Structure 1
């Protein structure tokens, strides 16, 4: 394993003159720079050339980013391959008294976090859909930023003919949401339909009315709207052979701001490991190429639109507060005391951490999705649902 320096040291000690490493190293935001720094230090320390060849492609939640590299030990030259696509280069290995690598350096492209994350999401989506034989995908398009970014990534991955969006309005759906969902579809030239859930909701409500007798209206009715949409999307999926892409993000998954069997119903989650803050950054980044996501979607306050005048901020702290706390607790294993010491309100921190711990049961039941961080929800972070421990 090239990540262990002992591996390199032993090979050099045994007389290796060139190290060729065939790797299957999955992408995370920080890994490309970490790899390069590590391999460069080996070359400098052990005076041996390294040819690092990394796999390219998506497999379930993992995306292998390629980004192969060749390091010369004689002249400090480095050859970097393309990321997120196959790439072929020629090198010549000459052995006289010493091994020498001959190759032409390519102009080095400046490393961009957002570009790499976006490309990872596109490749992961493309390969999951294609390698598993789906005809295309279908997305519930709410007129919000999460579904807009998901649809745009799917378009970049699969093309316009294989991406389908559905707006499913109800009484609390703003007219601007309907307009923005249509504008997004027009900008992407993708098929778009509008299916009202009013009759579906009424049918469910009528059937449940006797059981709900004397009960106050509460979150049940809000969640029922979301589940009507989930049923609609899954029916279309079954009939048309399309994969449903869910549109939830990491921030929502962390605190349980979602409805089981509603907006979590689907087969693949593109934004599962993407915080809400990063969703906005990626949307703005993509619009720099071509402005396909309507600006109103990016600028308006996020809302689930399950109740009159509802906004995410009614239930959650501002994402500029929420997302750093999630990152510190989930990805960096920081304790409540350590997080509070960063200047956050103790009551707010403890409420968020309780939500993260409590909603493990929801996260166990959502689709797999693309990993981009050092620790995602899933294989990277395994906590029991049934436990009495509190941080």
Structure 2
């Protein structure tokens, strides 16, 4: 039994599929761990490849390349430096049903692969097979209970490891950010500690991958449930933990704990990191977006500047005859406060051209939402033209409240390559805007101080597609709308349940039907940062053709 063990934890930001770059990132972390005197460096789930790989793991060449790089890293541990725990795919020939494919971890030591462990508890049906219940790995005189993500949340896996002699539980994760999720992770870890009497190590990825953001936030709980370590949020880090035996227990020396990060800051930084990594990893030179003078585009612009810097953000005001002087002034002031490139492209000529072109087909029918949508689509065409011409990615600015009920125009304001507000309700947009005007987030590339005029936050929201229009002409007040939507989307609550909470039945029915009818629009929306437990897309997909009404028709 080793009396001491020094374990370095590396929360790193891999680039999906950039295997050699990821291997080099692991090498750099190992060199840093060696300089700290570590015996072992632990990296997160699928650290060699990025996570989640989705159907990329069905590609035989990808699997072979991952295996080759893991073998390279294993050979390098012959230098006497720290051992390595690396996450990646593992394929076995299997039996009559064909090869078995696992989400696995590899313990690399002494120039070889010392041990492999496959993920046992799978989150749902997918490409991976369930591995056998894992046993401990003997490493430099200590028995390590190594697990992958859901395995750490399952009492069965932890108890199996404890009963077979593990001295410490270490869970490597690719656990996506959700607002408020960090506290639940610690609660689950406390349960594992209580059940097994063993210390628990949680290590997570950091970075953005398509719609997911991994915030890091690794931690260590000692066997007495005390929090010995909490790693930073939304940034890479290599942290050394020192373990010693006290009687039969391994105990981690405590680290100073960083201050708690408030909920709004967590959401804002998740949006910023998600956008930064989407732009950088997909090699876009910058961002272009429409800056209307409204709060959604103002907040989206601030996030873009904080993610990429003002020199990589291009804002375009596209006024129509219905655009107010206040919107023109506020958009220009937002651009000035953020220090970005700002230009004006009026859409009046496009509106006139479409009116003349369509007049013979429309005949004597009076104007309606068709003409309003043409304005939005003229703006979409304008922004996509600039995106095509200069290579910048078009950032969409719609929020979750609008997308939920279809208050958005397909091929108009829904145009774009990415959205930072896709999973953010309007009431949270207001709160985030006030928060950003008062705070500069850690790591932000934008300016300190207000990033939008106060009037942008206080003025009634409007699409400005007809005279004197406001959002409340078509929608209930946003606090009411968002409360109903959260009940329907995140809570999957019934109409009766929402009525029992005090909402008007007719209004709940109306919002429920709008939510249902807008599914076809959401399927065509760009990807965006996941913030809630039920983001549209992977988390919530209802049939587009759907006649179900239950008992509320």
TM over 0.5: yes
Q: Which residue of 2 aligns with 1:162?
A: 312
TM-score (norm 2): 0.69
Measure the CA separation in 2 of the matches of 1:35 and 1:136: 35
> Which residue of 2 is the match for residue 211 of structure 1?
361
Partner of 2:544: 385
Q: How far apart, in 1, do the equivalents of 2:210 and 2:432 lie?
A: 22
Q: Is the 8 A contact 2:190 2:225 kept in 1?
A: no
**Structure 1 residues 276, 75: closer, same or farther in 2, change over 3 A?**
closer
Q: Give 3-state SS (helix, strand or coil) of 1:371's partner.
A: coil
For 1:260 and 1:77, locate their aligned partners in 2 and report how far apart those are by CA, in whole Å: 49
Select which of 298, 303, 327 maps to 1:153.
303
Shift of 1:206: 1.4
Alpha-carbon displacement from aligned partner over 1:100-122 (angstroms, at most 9, x marks no partner):
33434223413411111111000
Gaps of 5+ in 1: none
Q: Does 1:36 align with 2:152?
A: no
CA radius of gyration, larger in: 2
For 1:277-356, list aligned pairs within 5 A: 277-289=427-439, 290-356=449-515
Partner of 2:291: 141
**Aligned positions, number:** 391
Distance in 2, Cα, partners of 1:121 & 1:145: 16
8 A contact 1:58–1:123 mirrored in 2: yes
Q: Distance in 2 between matches of 1:96 and 1:298?
A: 57
Provide the C-alpha distance between the structure 2 equivalents of 1:111 and 1:184, rounded to a whole number of angstroms.
Answer: 27
TM-score (norm 1): 0.98
2:531 aligned counterpart, secondary structure: coil
**Aligned pair 1:227/2:377, yes or no?**
yes
Unpaired segments ≥5 residues, structure 2: 1-150, 440-448
- Say which structure, 1 or 2, has more relative contact order (CA 8 Å, 6+ apart): 1
1:312 & 1:75 partners in 2: Cα distance? 50
CA distance in 2, matches of 1:337, 1:362: 27
Q: Matches of 2:225 and 2:404 in 1, distance apart? A: 48
Aligned counterparts of 1:378 and 1:252: Cα–Cα separation in 2: 15
1:322-381 per-residue CA deviation (whole Å, 9 max, x = no partner) reads 001000011111011111110111111100101000111111111011100010111111
Distance in 1 (CA, whole Å) between partners of 2:210 and 2:246 is 46
* CA distance in 1: counterparts of 2:227 and 2:316, whole angstroms: 51
The structure richer in strand per residue is 2
Counterpart Cα distance in 2 of 1:217 and 1:92: 72
1:114, 1:93 → 2: CA distance?
A: 35
Shift of the alpha carbon at 1:131?
A: 0.3
| Counterpart contact for 2:376–2:413, Cα < 8 Å | yes
Q: Could you report, residue by residue, the CA deviation over 1:153-207 in whole angstroms, capped at 9, with x for unpaired residues?
A: 0111000110110000000000110111110011010101011001112112211
